[in-house]
Structure 1
Amino acid sequence: MTSDPSTTREALLRLREQTDAQAAALEGDLRSLFEASRSSNADDEHDPEGSTIAFERAQLTAVLDATRRRLAELDVALRGIDDGSYGICERCSRPIPAERLLARPSARTCVACASRR
Protein backbone atom coordinates (compact mmCIF):
# COMPACT_ATOMS: atom_id res chain seq x y z
CA MET A 1 0.00 0.00 0.00
CA THR A 2 1.13 3.53 -0.56
CA SER A 3 1.44 6.27 2.02
CA ASP A 4 -1.26 8.28 0.23
CA PRO A 5 -4.51 7.60 2.14
CA SER A 6 -6.78 8.14 -0.89
CA THR A 7 -4.77 5.72 -3.06
CA THR A 8 -4.67 3.19 -0.24
CA ARG A 9 -8.41 3.58 0.29
CA GLU A 10 -9.07 2.99 -3.42
CA ALA A 11 -6.89 -0.15 -3.38
CA LEU A 12 -8.68 -1.46 -0.28
CA LEU A 13 -12.07 -0.72 -1.84
CA ARG A 14 -11.10 -2.65 -4.98
CA LEU A 15 -9.89 -5.55 -2.87
CA ARG A 16 -13.10 -5.45 -0.83
CA GLU A 17 -15.19 -5.44 -4.02
CA GLN A 18 -13.31 -8.50 -5.34
CA THR A 19 -13.67 -10.29 -2.01
CA ASP A 20 -17.37 -9.46 -1.85
CA ALA A 21 -17.86 -10.88 -5.37
CA GLN A 22 -15.98 -14.01 -4.30
CA ALA A 23 -18.26 -14.38 -1.25
CA ALA A 24 -21.35 -14.00 -3.45
CA ALA A 25 -20.07 -16.69 -5.84
CA LEU A 26 -19.30 -19.04 -2.94
CA GLU A 27 -22.77 -18.46 -1.49
CA GLY A 28 -24.25 -19.36 -4.88
CA ASP A 29 -22.12 -22.51 -5.09
CA LEU A 30 -23.15 -23.53 -1.59
CA ARG A 31 -26.82 -22.89 -2.35
CA SER A 32 -26.52 -25.00 -5.53
CA LEU A 33 -24.88 -27.80 -3.59
CA PHE A 34 -27.68 -27.78 -1.01
CA GLU A 35 -30.30 -27.85 -3.76
CA ALA A 36 -28.53 -30.68 -5.58
CA SER A 37 -28.24 -32.76 -2.44
CA ARG A 38 -31.93 -32.25 -1.62
CA SER A 39 -33.05 -33.47 -5.03
CA SER A 40 -30.69 -36.45 -5.03
CA ASN A 41 -31.28 -39.67 -3.17
CA ALA A 42 -27.71 -40.83 -3.72
CA ASP A 43 -25.85 -42.49 -0.89
CA ASP A 44 -22.98 -40.03 -0.92
CA GLU A 45 -21.39 -41.54 2.17
CA HIS A 46 -20.54 -44.69 0.20
CA ASP A 47 -19.84 -43.18 -3.21
CA PRO A 48 -16.68 -44.75 -4.66
CA GLU A 49 -16.33 -41.86 -7.11
CA GLY A 50 -14.84 -39.43 -4.63
CA SER A 51 -15.67 -36.97 -1.90
CA THR A 52 -19.03 -36.88 -0.21
CA ILE A 53 -21.53 -34.08 -0.55
CA ALA A 54 -21.11 -33.43 3.16
CA PHE A 55 -17.34 -33.03 2.67
CA GLU A 56 -17.84 -30.63 -0.26
CA ARG A 57 -20.37 -28.66 1.77
CA ALA A 58 -17.93 -28.43 4.70
CA GLN A 59 -15.13 -27.25 2.41
CA LEU A 60 -17.29 -24.60 0.74
CA THR A 61 -18.57 -23.42 4.11
CA ALA A 62 -15.01 -23.09 5.45
CA VAL A 63 -13.86 -21.09 2.43
CA LEU A 64 -16.95 -18.87 2.64
CA ASP A 65 -16.34 -18.25 6.35
CA ALA A 66 -12.73 -17.25 5.63
CA THR A 67 -13.89 -14.92 2.85
CA ARG A 68 -16.41 -13.28 5.17
CA ARG A 69 -13.66 -12.81 7.80
CA ARG A 70 -11.50 -11.17 5.12
CA LEU A 71 -14.37 -8.80 4.31
CA ALA A 72 -14.64 -7.86 7.97
CA GLU A 73 -10.86 -7.27 8.14
CA LEU A 74 -11.02 -5.04 5.08
CA ASP A 75 -13.87 -3.07 6.65
CA VAL A 76 -11.70 -2.52 9.75
CA ALA A 77 -8.83 -1.38 7.51
CA LEU A 78 -11.12 1.07 5.71
CA ARG A 79 -12.31 2.49 9.04
CA GLY A 80 -8.64 2.81 10.01
CA ILE A 81 -8.00 4.94 6.94
CA ASP A 82 -10.93 7.16 7.94
CA ASP A 83 -9.80 7.59 11.54
CA GLY A 84 -6.06 7.76 10.81
CA SER A 85 -5.12 4.49 12.53
CA TYR A 86 -4.41 2.49 9.36
CA GLY A 87 -0.83 1.25 9.22
CA ILE A 88 -0.26 1.69 12.97
CA CYS A 89 0.26 -1.44 15.07
CA GLU A 90 -2.60 -2.02 17.52
CA ARG A 91 -0.19 -3.38 20.14
CA CYS A 92 2.95 -1.24 20.09
CA SER A 93 1.66 1.83 18.19
CA ARG A 94 4.59 1.74 15.78
CA PRO A 95 4.12 2.02 12.01
CA ILE A 96 3.47 -1.25 10.21
CA PRO A 97 6.09 -1.60 7.44
CA ALA A 98 4.81 -0.94 3.91
CA GLU A 99 6.01 -4.40 2.82
CA ARG A 100 3.70 -6.03 5.37
CA LEU A 101 0.77 -3.89 4.27
CA LEU A 102 1.45 -4.84 0.65
CA ALA A 103 1.42 -8.51 1.57
CA ARG A 104 -1.50 -8.22 3.96
CA PRO A 105 -3.43 -4.95 3.45
CA SER A 106 -5.66 -5.60 6.45
CA ALA A 107 -2.74 -6.16 8.86
CA ARG A 108 -3.40 -4.61 12.27
CA THR A 109 -0.11 -5.48 13.90
CA CYS A 110 3.54 -5.19 12.94
CA VAL A 111 5.53 -8.36 12.27
CA ALA A 112 7.17 -8.32 15.71
CA CYS A 113 3.84 -8.11 17.54
CA ALA A 114 2.17 -10.62 15.22
CA SER A 115 4.93 -13.15 15.89
CA ARG A 116 4.41 -12.83 19.65
CA ARG A 117 0.88 -14.21 19.48
Structure 2
Amino acid sequence: MSNDGPRIRREKRTVAAMIELYCEEQHDSPDGLCAECRTLHDYAMQRLERCPFGEEKTTCVDCAVHCYKPAMRERVRVVMRTAGPRMIWRHPVLAVRHVLDGRRLNARTKTPNTK
Protein backbone atom coordinates (compact mmCIF):
# COMPACT_ATOMS: atom_id res chain seq x y z
CA MET A 1 0.00 0.00 0.00
CA SER A 2 1.29 3.43 -0.88
CA ASN A 3 0.07 6.64 0.72
CA ASP A 4 0.47 9.55 -1.64
CA GLY A 5 -2.34 11.92 -0.68
CA PRO A 6 -1.81 15.58 0.25
CA ARG A 7 -1.77 14.95 4.02
CA ILE A 8 0.96 12.30 3.77
CA ARG A 9 2.98 14.39 1.30
CA ARG A 10 2.86 17.36 3.69
CA GLU A 11 3.86 15.16 6.63
CA LYS A 12 6.81 13.87 4.59
CA ARG A 13 7.91 17.44 3.78
CA THR A 14 7.61 18.39 7.46
CA VAL A 15 9.64 15.43 8.72
CA ALA A 16 12.25 15.92 5.99
CA ALA A 17 12.59 19.62 6.89
CA MET A 18 13.02 18.78 10.58
CA ILE A 19 15.69 16.19 9.85
CA GLU A 20 17.52 18.63 7.55
CA LEU A 21 17.45 21.38 10.21
CA TYR A 22 18.71 18.95 12.84
CA CYS A 23 21.52 17.58 10.65
CA GLU A 24 22.59 21.05 9.57
CA GLU A 25 22.87 22.17 13.19
CA GLN A 26 24.21 19.02 14.82
CA HIS A 27 26.38 17.37 12.17
CA ASP A 28 27.33 20.25 9.86
CA SER A 29 27.40 17.89 6.88
CA PRO A 30 28.56 19.80 3.78
CA ASP A 31 26.77 17.51 1.30
CA GLY A 32 23.22 17.55 2.63
CA LEU A 33 22.28 14.88 5.14
CA CYS A 34 24.95 12.83 6.86
CA ALA A 35 24.67 9.03 6.65
CA GLU A 36 22.96 8.77 10.07
CA CYS A 37 20.34 11.39 9.21
CA ARG A 38 19.85 9.94 5.70
CA THR A 39 19.04 6.58 7.31
CA LEU A 40 16.54 8.23 9.65
CA HIS A 41 14.98 10.19 6.77
CA ASP A 42 14.57 7.08 4.63
CA TYR A 43 13.08 5.15 7.55
CA ALA A 44 10.59 7.94 8.33
CA MET A 45 9.52 8.17 4.68
CA GLN A 46 8.99 4.41 4.58
CA ARG A 47 6.88 4.51 7.75
CA LEU A 48 4.72 7.32 6.33
CA GLU A 49 4.22 5.45 3.06
CA ARG A 50 2.98 2.44 4.99
CA CYS A 51 0.88 4.30 7.57
CA PRO A 52 -2.36 2.33 8.02
CA PHE A 53 -4.32 5.54 8.71
CA GLY A 54 -3.36 7.22 5.44
CA GLU A 55 -4.92 10.64 4.97
CA GLU A 56 -6.73 10.37 8.31
CA LYS A 57 -3.54 9.99 10.34
CA THR A 58 -2.81 12.09 13.37
CA THR A 59 0.62 13.50 13.97
CA CYS A 60 2.89 10.60 14.88
CA VAL A 61 3.34 11.73 18.48
CA ASP A 62 -0.42 11.37 19.03
CA CYS A 63 -0.83 8.08 17.18
CA ALA A 64 -2.11 5.02 19.04
CA VAL A 65 0.00 2.73 16.84
CA HIS A 66 3.73 3.26 17.22
CA CYS A 67 5.18 1.82 14.04
CA TYR A 68 8.73 3.08 14.64
CA LYS A 69 11.24 0.75 16.23
CA PRO A 70 12.08 2.06 19.73
CA ALA A 71 15.59 3.24 18.76
CA MET A 72 14.33 5.08 15.68
CA ARG A 73 11.44 6.56 17.63
CA GLU A 74 13.90 8.01 20.14
CA ARG A 75 16.05 9.43 17.32
CA VAL A 76 13.01 11.14 15.78
CA ARG A 77 12.04 12.46 19.20
CA VAL A 78 15.50 14.06 19.57
CA VAL A 79 15.30 15.53 16.05
CA MET A 80 11.88 17.03 16.72
CA ARG A 81 12.89 18.41 20.10
CA THR A 82 15.83 20.17 18.44
CA ALA A 83 14.30 21.21 15.11
CA GLY A 84 10.67 21.76 16.13
CA PRO A 85 11.13 25.21 17.68
CA ARG A 86 13.26 26.33 14.71
CA MET A 87 10.65 25.26 12.17
CA ILE A 88 8.54 28.38 12.78
CA TRP A 89 11.41 30.53 11.45
CA ARG A 90 12.66 28.34 8.61
CA HIS A 91 9.44 26.65 7.48
CA PRO A 92 6.57 28.61 9.03
CA VAL A 93 3.80 27.20 6.82
CA LEU A 94 4.81 23.59 7.46
CA ALA A 95 5.16 24.28 11.19
CA VAL A 96 1.73 25.86 11.54
CA ARG A 97 0.07 23.19 9.39
CA HIS A 98 1.69 20.46 11.50
CA VAL A 99 0.33 21.97 14.73
CA LEU A 100 -3.11 22.46 13.18
CA ASP A 101 -3.15 18.90 11.82
CA GLY A 102 -2.49 17.55 15.29
CA ARG A 103 -5.14 19.69 16.93
CA ARG A 104 -7.75 19.18 14.22
CA LEU A 105 -7.40 15.42 14.19
CA ASN A 106 -7.26 15.22 18.00
CA ALA A 107 -10.49 17.22 18.21
CA ARG A 108 -12.15 14.96 15.64
CA THR A 109 -11.22 11.82 17.58
CA LYS A 110 -11.77 13.57 20.91
CA THR A 111 -8.32 12.50 22.03
CA PRO A 112 -6.73 15.01 24.40
CA ASN A 113 -3.32 16.19 23.33
CA THR A 114 -1.52 15.91 26.66
CA LYS A 115 2.03 15.95 25.34
Which of the pair has more CA radius of gyration?
1
Structure possessing the higher relative contact order (Cα contacts under 8 Å, 6 or more residues apart): 2
Same fold at TM > 0.5 = no
Q: TM-score range by the shorter chain?
A: 0.3 to 0.5
